[in-house]
Amino acid sequence: MTLPTRAIGPFQVSAVSLGCMNLNHAYGAFPPEDEAIRLLNRALDLGVTMLDTAALYGDGENERLVGKAVMHRRSEFTLASKCVLGLFDGKRGLDGRPEAITGTLEGALQRLGTDHIDLYYLHRLDAKVPIEDSIGALVRAKEAGKIGAIGISEMSAATLRRAHAVHPIAAIQNEYSPAVRNVEIGVLAACRELGTTLVAFSPVVRGLLAGAIRTAAYAEGDVRHIMPRFVEPQLSENLKLVDAFDRIAAEAGLAPAQLAIGWVLAQDATIVALPGTKSIAHLEEDVATLTTPVPQEAIDAVTALFPFNAMSGPRYAAFAQAQVDTETLPDEELA
């Protein structure tokens, strides 16, 4: 199947691509490996042409899974992964030193079972290391043929411009959804100026706009336990917005996830949406957004429903907020 595509540097990728994190990181209750392998292959069968992983996810296990599941179909997809953010002595941390980036990349290539990663991101900004030094390590990796395009993640427009001055940045992967609109402060404009693609992760707000969350009864190990917007008393307030969102979706004849993803794609013709899922049925629903008309009146209604700071509670817990460089909205509540 051929899906509508959008450009990331030299690549044309499906406008809805797949974030692989959910399969063994962050949300708990992970599927058995054989089910995860089936899902990844089903994504390719549906026409998804970018798979996104990272060294952090499962402390390398997600890269190993992708390598085992689909590397025999390598010509069918753009492979993306990330460095800098990882587990160090069992604790989540940042290491953007050039030598650390080189070591993480070598490990990623081994885990993935390949000698080349198409799109390699700095997962976060390590404030202790000049962005120019971290990007320089990726430039050298590109010159060595180990990576193709260069990306950054959860960073600001100012940092994007600094990075781009060292080497063209093909993609910036930041959170973007009807409920999380920080990129509208400056990143979207910088992307248009520089020719950088915004890859929008969590377009369905970690399941909140996909009909997946009604209570805070998450599986053991689910990071939403410590994300203020997803626990009480904030969750009940946010579910009022979700109920209104669901009504807009129903009136438009759409699944909630399709309306959320459709809204993101409608904000700019270059944006790539990157949902993740553990369910083949949900995967198929997400991908079907690309062949399902999303009425403009529904998009407008969603925009009106979620003005800046509509959500109750901070986006991240304090430790995670300290590891991002994204702009904050005026009067945004921070942990």
Tell me which residues are annotated as active site.
Answer: 57
- CA–CA separation, 133 and 39 (whole Å): 37
Residue 26 CB contacts under 8 Å (≥ 6 apart), including other chains: 57, 222, 223
| Rounded (10°) CA dihedral 36, 180, 192, 130 | -80
CA angle, residues 316, 270, 60, in degrees to nearest 5:
45
In degrees rounded to 5, what are phi and psi of residue 177?
Answer: -165, 175
Instruction: Tell me the pairing of strands 91-94 and 85-88.
Output: antiparallel
- The counts of H helices and E strands in the chain are 11, 12
Q: Which of 28, 27, 29, 82 is nearest to 51 (CA)?
A: 82
b/e per residue 212-248 (b: at least 16 CB within 10 A): bbeeeebeeebbbeebbbbeeebbeebbebbeebbeb
Q: Which two three-digit tokens encode residue 146?
A: 């180990």
Please tell me the distance from the alpha carbon of residue 204 to that of residue 212, in angstroms, as a whole number.
Answer: 10
CA distance 78 to 119: 7
